[in-house]
Amino acid sequence: MLFTLLSGLALPSLAAAAGISASAPTAGPSKSTGKLPALGWNTWNAYACDISDSKIIAAANQFVSLGLKDAGYQYVNIDDCWAEKTRDSNTKQIVPDPTKFPNGISGVANSIHALGLKIGIYSDAGTETCAGYPGSLGYEEIDAATFTGWGIDYLKYDNCNVPSNWTDAAIPPGGDWYNSNSAVRYRQMAGALADQTRPVQFELCIWGQAEVWTWGARVGHSWRMSTDANATWSYISNIIAINVQHLSSVGFYSHNDMDMMEIGNGDLTTEEQRTHFAAWAFLKSPILLGTDLNKLSTTQLAIIKNAELLAFHQDSTFSGPAVPFTATANAPVTSPPEYYAGTSTKGTHVFIINTGSSPATKKFSFANVPGLGSGKYTLHDMWTGLNISGTHSGSYSVKVATHDTAAFLIEAAEY
Ligand SMILES: *[C@@H]1O[C@H](CO)[C@@H](O)[C@H](O)[C@H]1NC(C)=O
Ligand SMILES: *[C@@H]1O[C@H](CO)[C@@H](O)[C@H](O)[C@H]1NC(C)=O
Ligand SMILES: *[C@@H]1O[C@H](CO)[C@@H](O)[C@H](O)[C@H]1NC(C)=O
């Protein structure tokens, strides 16, 4: 009777593990796109709902005129509020707002593609978007076909207005959050996108819920790690602290998203904007600019076009982010960590954030940097593009301004 007893116990949990997840699509994200973290721009932080095709096409033209396209920026993404409030009653398709988009979304897509750029759109894994426009839950196949028919290359998929019967259990079926109702809502769209011929980069805007970093790569190319960004040091510092706990999830086709950029918004200091850009780059988050590009200062443009940080971010050979290391034997533990090391095609890099509220001298031992040791080294400053004079051994110290980030390429010195 032991067998009967065991199977009697096992059956209910097997049934639970089956549930809606058993019939949900299991298609993974396209491997024709999204290998590297996205580089681009999105309407939301700049304009929220006040969008139009002219603002979006202006941004695309600025990609070209400001040298952002040459620097690698590619995606021009439309966020919420592009649609009419109701679907077409016959086709059930979402309808672009004809006032904001007189030539439809396909018209914008054509203009953006003509510039050699790519276009993104926005929908929601619920009944309505966050601003109350039609959501795609239950309409995934229609919407995926509509979006790709318009020429869409990227989909940001938000998490508002989820019906109560989709609430997650405290423990997902089988203990795997891939089987959670949240994941199933995203898997339904992943399956619909996989049914289209056009590859779409798929961003799960799930706000760090349902332990998305454990299953995100099975469903999309990137996933949000938190609620929305804002233009404050507290946001930048909090999201770094959150993201560093899950860096093993980052790789090709697999990116923790720290949310869109606030450079150009609010009153972040220049140093805070440098850290905003550098940390998103060395942690390999998508970098989607979120401001009126026309208003960027020369200093801000230099930050977002920094060729060496972008090369680290877009390295097609080394997939991993920089990770925290213990700088010296008695270095204090901070949150977020201040010292990071990573590898690129160029070699070994060290990044140092001064999280404190006054300028400070930051010191690290070469032997504590993974891959380095007791030898002699030269340092190259990734911000200025200049070599630092002399050879160095043992340790290196550098003064870092409040909330600034130092960025180095470190090479073995020739004797
Ligand atoms: C919630 O209800 C809808 C409509 O009945 C149904 O299609 C869907 O599968 C349900 N979701 C779950 C997780 O059971
Ligand atoms: C900005 O983000 C921080 C960190 O997530 C949060 O504590 C703060 O409340 C946010 N501020 C606003 C105005 O939303
Ligand atoms: C910096 O040093 C590297 C060797 O470590 C050298 O190849 C490069 O030319 C130097 N760059 C400048 C600008 O001096």
290-305 pLDDT, tens digit per residue, is 999 999 999 999 999 9
Catalytic choice (124, 158, 257, 259)? 158
What pLDDT is recorded for position 414?
Answer: 79
Ligand 1 centroid to Cα of residue 165, in Å, is: 6
Ligand 2 centroid to Cα of residue 238, in Å, is: 9
The answer to whether residue 54 scores a pLDDT higher than 80 is yes
**Is the minimum distance from the CB of 20 to ligand 1 under 6 angstroms?**
yes
Which atom of ligand 3 is closest in space to residue 411's alpha carbon?
5
**Is the minimum distance from the CB of 103 to ligand 3 under 6 angstroms?**
no
Mean of pLDDT values over 43-48: 97
Which atom of ligand 1 is closest in space to residue 163's alpha carbon?
1
Which atom of ligand 1 is closest in space to residue 181's alpha carbon?
13
The answer to whether residue 10 scores a pLDDT higher than 80 is no
Question: Which of 23, 166, 188 maximizes ligand 1 atoms within 8 Å of its Cβ, making it the mutation to test the pocket?
Answer: 166
pLDDT digits (tens, 9 = 90+) for 240-253: 999 999 999 999 99
Asked which of 40-44, 113-117, 332-336 is least confident by mean pLDDT, the reply is 332-336
**Is the minimum distance from the CB of 378 to ligand 3 under 6 angstroms?**
yes
CA distance 71 to 154: 19
* Residue ranges around ligand 2 (CB below 6 Å): 230, 232, 234-235, 238
Round to the nearest angstrom and report the end-to-end CA distance of the chain: 77
**Is the minimum distance from the CB of 166 to ligand 1 under 6 angstroms?**
yes
The reply to whether 14-224 and 323-412 are identical in fold is no
Domain range annotation of the chain: 14-224, 323-412
Question: Which of 230, 240, 276 maximizes ligand 2 atoms within 8 Å of its Cβ, making it the mutation to test the pocket?
Answer: 230
Which atom of ligand 3 is closest in space to residue 378's alpha carbon?
5
What pLDDT is recorded for position 415?
Answer: 63
Contact at 8 Å (CB) between 395 and 403? no
Task: Name the class of domain 14-224.
Answer: alpha beta
What pLDDT is recorded for position 239?
Answer: 98
Multiple choice CATH, 323-412, 2.60.40.1180, 3.40.50.800, 3.90.1150.10, 3.40.50.300:
2.60.40.1180
If DSSP states are collapsed to H, E and C, what string results for the chain? Answer: CHHHHHHHHHHHHHHHHHHHHHHCCCCCCCCCCCCCCCEEEECHHHHCCCCCHHHHHHHHHHHHHCCHHHHCCCEEECCCCCECCCCCCCCCCCCECCCCCCCHHHHHHHHHHHCCCEEEEEEECCCECCCCCECCCCCHHHHHHHHHHHCCCEEEEECCCCCHHHCCCCCCHHHCHHHCHHHHHHHHHHHHHHCCCCCCEEEECCCCCCCHHHCHHHCCCEEECCCCCCCCHHHHHHHHHHHHHHHHHCECCEEEECCCCCCCCCCCCHHHHHHHHHHHHHCCCCEEECCCHHHCCHHHHHHHCCHHHHHHHCCCCCCCCCEECCCCCCCCCCCCCCEEEEEECCEEEEEEECCCCCCEEEEEEHHHCCCCCCCEEEEEECCCCEEEEEEEECEEEEEECCCCEEEEEEEECCC
Ligand 1 centroid to Cα of residue 248, in Å, is: 33
Q: Is 404 considered catalytic here? A: no
